[in-house]
Structure 1
Amino acid sequence: MAGSRKASGRRRGGGNGAAGSGRPRRRGKAKTWLAVVVSLLVLLAAGAGWIYIRLDGNIKTFAADGVSDDRPAASAHGSNVLVIGTDARTDGNSELGGGDKNDIGRSDTAFLLHTYADQKHAVAVSIPRDTLVDIPACKLPDGTWTKPQANTMFNAAYSVGQTAKGNPACTQNTVEKLTGLRVDHTVVVDFKGFAKMTEAVGGVQVCLPQDVYQKDLNPNRSTRGAQIFAKGPQTVSGQKALDYVRIRHGIGDGSDIGRIKRQQAFVASLLKKVKSDGMSPTSLLPLANAATQSLTVDPGLGSADKLISFALSMKNVDLHNTKFVTLPWRYQGARVAIVHPDAEALWAALKADRTLDGQSTGSHREEQADAASPSPGATESVSGQGVAVAVYNGTTITGLAARAADALKRHGFTVTGTGTALVRTQTRTVIEYGPGEKDQAEKVARVLTDAEATAAAAPGVKVILGKSYAADPVAPTSGAPSAVPSEIAGGARSADDDPCSNLSYG
């Protein structure tokens, strides 16, 4: 018994004369908790790693070999991301959008997002799907390249090649040719991806200017059907969110331009929701998981860390300084034509990293000021008041005469008519003028790229446009404004605007 008690005492005391102190037990307990914490950290790290692997597995990329070699130079100031919303019904999207499940679709929605160098400002420029543009050569599935297409609807670029995956590289080529800006990244979102993203953020607040019924979404219905939306503000997600951005008929003038206004309001509201939830990896992961399941991106965004890093790079962009505008446009029959030189002024502002009101941002203000200073002999404006001119297209490029006529009218010239020249192989633009009209011809030359004034026997000023004008319509001495026209800047939507304001064109 006594031996048992001594042995027991030695076990309790641990042989250090501190029997009953409990310090070894506390150290053991601390070690246990440390092991638990380390284990949890390892599990969390492994879990995060698993999430990133899962996201990587979700992301689909399109081949970079379809991007043109003839591209605008990369800019050190700001970045440009092309976002394409496709109405393809393939890959299960017909369940959300209806229609033929084999329909590869077109680019139903597209906007170019310019994030400024200071990462505090951004502008999204919507490009109407019906805009008449020149589509450059694009790669086909068999490896060959198409011939350029002139005066073609913008959304047709996405379906070049008629593949189920679409042709985002062709749309990117078209945007680069249209804007003169290099597209740094391209993202394609389909119906499923859009619906899942809105669910991941817990819904997006939108506003309707009136009650909306099934017939407004599907004009082929014989009756107006059930009510889909009530007038006023509400939160939508999934199918309801998709229905909101797709509605066109029955609201405003039923045009795609009006729908663009509501889509801009929706994206603004989505950005507001994401920023209010906090732009941290933790809050972004559910959104990223939903988005990547149906995103197609260029190889430069083809991994989870690149995609999330890109999203986090925009966390300091101020909502009020995030603007939405539409490419300057006018109706041309049932299609949309670009208004010149307003469009060129917009692209020039973004290329120079200037805000819509002409202000410079970032640390390169002085550099931009020097670059923006007019060269010797250049004038800040050209007045065509009192000058009459006829414009002829000396190339095979459709719509060139109308484009030049718009530019001349903007400077006050009177355009007496447009037409096609007898010779259509003109390389350089020629301006013919009659006796005593040299000064008038020189004014015209200051508006048009690479133009040469030539004396002629017949009276009057006549322009024969060459291919050089098609390649670069804005002459360096034409006095392109430092800010976009006031009606464009003034009509811009900010991401923090009331979601019920400015919802429809017409």
Structure 2
Amino acid sequence: MTAGCTALLVLGGCAVYYRLNGNITTFDGDAVSKDRPAAAAPDAQGRTPVNILLIGSDSRGNGNSDLGGGGDGGARSDTAILLHVYADHRHATGVSIPRDSLVTIPPCKLPNGKWTKEQTNVMFNSAFSVGDTEQGNPACTQNAVEKLTNLRVDHTIVVDFNGFASMTKAVGGVEVCLPNDVHEGDLNPNLGRKGKLLYPKGRQKVEGQSALDYVRIRHGIGDGSDIGRTKRQQAFLSSLIKQVKAGGMDPTTLLPLADAATKSLTVDPDLGSAAKLLSFAMSVKDVDLHDVKFVTTPWRYEGPRVALVHPDVDQLWAALKADRTLDGQDASAAAPAAGESAAPTAPGSATPDASPDAAAGSGEVKPAEVKVTVLNGTGAAGLGGKAAETVKGAGYTVTTVGNAPGRPRAATVVEYGTGERAAADAVAKLFPGATVQPGGKGISLVLGHDFAAANPAGTATAPTTGAASAPAPVPSSVAGAARSADDDPCANVSYG
């Protein structure tokens, strides 16, 4: 009986794989720029981070016009997210690039084999329309992202309307939330009237056409901008990831989803098989929902378009290139062996007996359960990241690294909320001379000039010969606005 079932599963699996392989379309690999950023080097354990460009296309082909695809010819990219999966395969950050962002688009290959000239100060989503075909130009968008970020895009995946609608049905619907009622006139402003109610305010499940309409709605919510829509798309993806993980990240669960998705999937040649797609999906199954973050590139309005804010956006790309999480963790660093505690990384910032056990005193404090916000109150760049390494080295969790508001501080202070004095005392022991005081919620380490004096500019954060210097921390305005995949689906779903 068991042998017979095994044989049936194997044969059935082969049939499914053949079907999936037949579904997948690949784009022209020769259209990818030859002038590309270098691939990420493996870490000491042979692991490498992976960058995946996710594109949502409004192509009219493959029946998409019935779902609202297309418009004035060709295909456009409604959505673009660069997903950085860290080398440890336990963290991931998705960066939304607003479609109206003004960027430089490098030379791209046309259907006739010729290459365009570089275009400057043009809308980001115009890259996908180069060549004016129903399939769009994924390679051109990939070229534009690599030019923008200086990150090598390892894989590109394009999902059209049909594929998106099918995926939401395959998982049994996705929970979403809206801050107010949404009517037909909000989905189609040309309707000229309010129309019937499409979505009531609050939580609900959507699938198929209703899911597609949800992620495309702009008007009637917040300021009606594409930025607000981006926030809802991030919330939707968070819920989708949560739904898939809840069903179990195994082939039995993933194959029906893959069958639905691949019917409308276009990928780079290196990802053009069901086995490779499923292998990648299984490789990230251990990423915790809280460690999947979504952010939007730092931006500002420039007339009717969006300009990216420098140097904030450059610091974000640099952090990802260095495989640093939004809170400054080095995901390429080897984890301490079982039973070992990492040594403090900032010279002069911790005493020899400031191990987690010593800091915990009588055992009341468990470092792994303590979350710490690190705020640089010195006015000197880079010290927040240095202090964060010390905190994490002692076993604590750093949730945010940023700059303290107001004037520079003279002395380092650990602030704590109700019932958290013991944890504050433990963290303070990592920073000789630091004082503790009540204030706000949670544990906040606010660095003062005393820490800057003990850690002058140029002091290495780790005594490893030849180690690359840490990039500037991701601006707190970016890291603080990040959405985790386990966040409340009703939080942060509009702008303005």
Answering whether residue 29 of structure 2 is matched by residue 82 of structure 1, we say no
CA distance in structure 2 between the aligned counterparts of 1:502 and 1:183, rounded to whole angstroms? 28
Correspondence for 2:268 among 290, 298, 317: 298
CA contact (8 A) 2:168 2:208 kept: yes
Residues 138-171 of structure 1 deviation map (CA, whole Å, 9 limit, x = unaligned): 0011111100000000000001011121100000
CA distance in structure 1 between the aligned counterparts of 2:206 and 2:269, rounded to whole angstroms? 32
Residues 446-494 of structure 1 deviation map (CA, whole Å, 9 limit, x = unaligned): xxxxxxxxxxxxxxxxxxxxxxxxxxxxxxxxx9952111011001000
Q: Which residue of 2 aligns with 1:192?
A: 162
Answering whether residue 453 of structure 2 is matched by residue 482 of structure 1, we say no
Residues 330-373 of structure 1 deviation map (CA, whole Å, 9 limit, x = unaligned): 0000000010000010000000000111121243589xx9xx99
Q: Which residue of 1 aligns with 2:456?
A: none
Q: Which residue of 1 aligns with 2:316?
A: 346
Task: Write out the 4+ residue segments of structure 1 that deviate beyond 6 Å after TM superposition.
Answer: none
CA contact (8 A) 1:203 1:237 kept: yes
Q: What aligned pairs does 1:368-383 form with structure 2 within 5 A after superposition?
A: 381=381
Q: What aligned pairs does 1:156-305 form with structure 2 within 5 A after superposition?
A: 156-305=126-275
CA contact (8 A) 2:73 2:132 kept: no
CA contact (8 A) 2:70 2:76 kept: no
CA contact (8 A) 1:61 1:297 kept: yes
CA distance in structure 2 between the aligned counterparts of 1:162 and 1:380, rounded to whole angstroms? 49
Q: Which residue of 1 aligns with 2:284?
A: 314
CA distance in structure 2 between the aligned counterparts of 1:154 and 1:331, rounded to whole angstroms? 14
Which AA in structure 1 matches 2:67?
Answer: L
Q: Which residue of 1 aligns with 2:421?
A: none
Q: Which residue of 2 aligns with 1:65?
A: 30
Change (3 A) 1:45 1:157: same
Which AA in structure 2 matches 1:123?
Answer: T
Where 1:269 maps in the other structure, the secondary structure is helix
Residues 291-350 of structure 1 deviation map (CA, whole Å, 9 limit, x = unaligned): 000000001110010000011111011110110000110000000001000001000000
CA distance in structure 1 between the aligned counterparts of 2:258 and 2:97, rounded to whole angstroms? 26
Where 2:189 maps in the other structure, the secondary structure is coil
Q: Which residue of 2 aligns with 1:96?
A: 67
Which AA in structure 1 matches 2:106?
Answer: P
Change (3 A) 1:99 1:188: closer
Structure 2 spans left out of the alignment, 5+ residues: 43-47, 337-342, 348-378, 383-468
CA distance in structure 2 between the aligned counterparts of 1:275 and 1:96, rounded to whole angstroms? 27
CA distance in structure 1 between the aligned counterparts of 2:292 and 2:381, rounded to whole angstroms? 30
CA distance in structure 2 between the aligned counterparts of 1:117 and 1:42, rounded to whole angstroms? 36
Deviation of 1:260 after TM superposition, in Å, equals 0.2
CA distance in structure 1 between the aligned counterparts of 2:380 and 2:116, rounded to whole angstroms? 40
Where 1:320 maps in the other structure, the secondary structure is helix
Answering whether residue 331 of structure 2 is matched by residue 361 of structure 1, we say yes
Deviation of 1:42 after TM superposition, in Å, equals 2.3
CA contact (8 A) 2:75 2:132 kept: no
Where 1:220 maps in the other structure, the secondary structure is helix
Change (3 A) 1:357 1:164: same
Answering whether residue 484 of structure 2 is matched by residue 494 of structure 1, we say yes
Residues 200-246 of structure 1 deviation map (CA, whole Å, 9 limit, x = unaligned): 00000000100000010000001111110000000110001001000
Where 2:210 maps in the other structure, the secondary structure is helix
Q: What aligned pairs does 1:374-413 form with structure 2 within 5 A after superposition?
A: 381=381
CA contact (8 A) 1:90 1:103 kept: no
Q: Which residue of 1 aligns with 2:20?
A: 55
CA distance in structure 2 between the aligned counterparts of 1:188 and 1:166, rounded to whole angstroms? 9
Where 1:340 maps in the other structure, the secondary structure is coil
CA distance in structure 2 between the aligned counterparts of 1:353 and 1:182, rounded to whole angstroms? 13
Deviation of 1:37 after TM superposition, in Å, equals 4.4
CA distance in structure 1 between the aligned counterparts of 2:70 and 2:120, rounded to whole angstroms? 30
CA contact (8 A) 1:345 1:480 kept: no
CA contact (8 A) 2:174 2:243 kept: yes
CA contact (8 A) 2:58 2:70 kept: no
Q: Which residue of 1 aligns with 2:94?
A: 124
Residues 106-145 of structure 1 deviation map (CA, whole Å, 9 limit, x = unaligned): 1110000000111111000000000000000000111111
Change (3 A) 1:171 1:98: closer
Where 2:62 maps in the other structure, the secondary structure is coil
CA distance in structure 2 between the aligned counterparts of 1:232 and 1:175, rounded to whole angstroms? 35
Residues 60-112 of structure 1 deviation map (CA, whole Å, 9 limit, x = unaligned): 10010000000000003311000000112222101111665x83221110000
Q: Which residue of 2 aligns with 1:5?
A: none
Q: How many equivalent pairs are there? A: 365
Q: Percent identity?
A: 65
Q: Which residue of 1 aligns with 2:109?
A: 139
Change (3 A) 1:98 1:359: closer
Rg larger for: 1
Where 1:356 maps in the other structure, the secondary structure is coil
Where 2:192 maps in the other structure, the secondary structure is coil
Q: Which residue of 1 aligns with 2:305?
A: 335
CA distance in structure 2 between the aligned counterparts of 1:89 and 1:215, rounded to whole angstroms? 22
CA distance in structure 2 between the aligned counterparts of 1:180 and 1:140, rounded to whole angstroms? 23
Which AA in structure 2 matches 1:128?
Answer: P
Which AA in structure 2 matches 1:246?
Answer: R
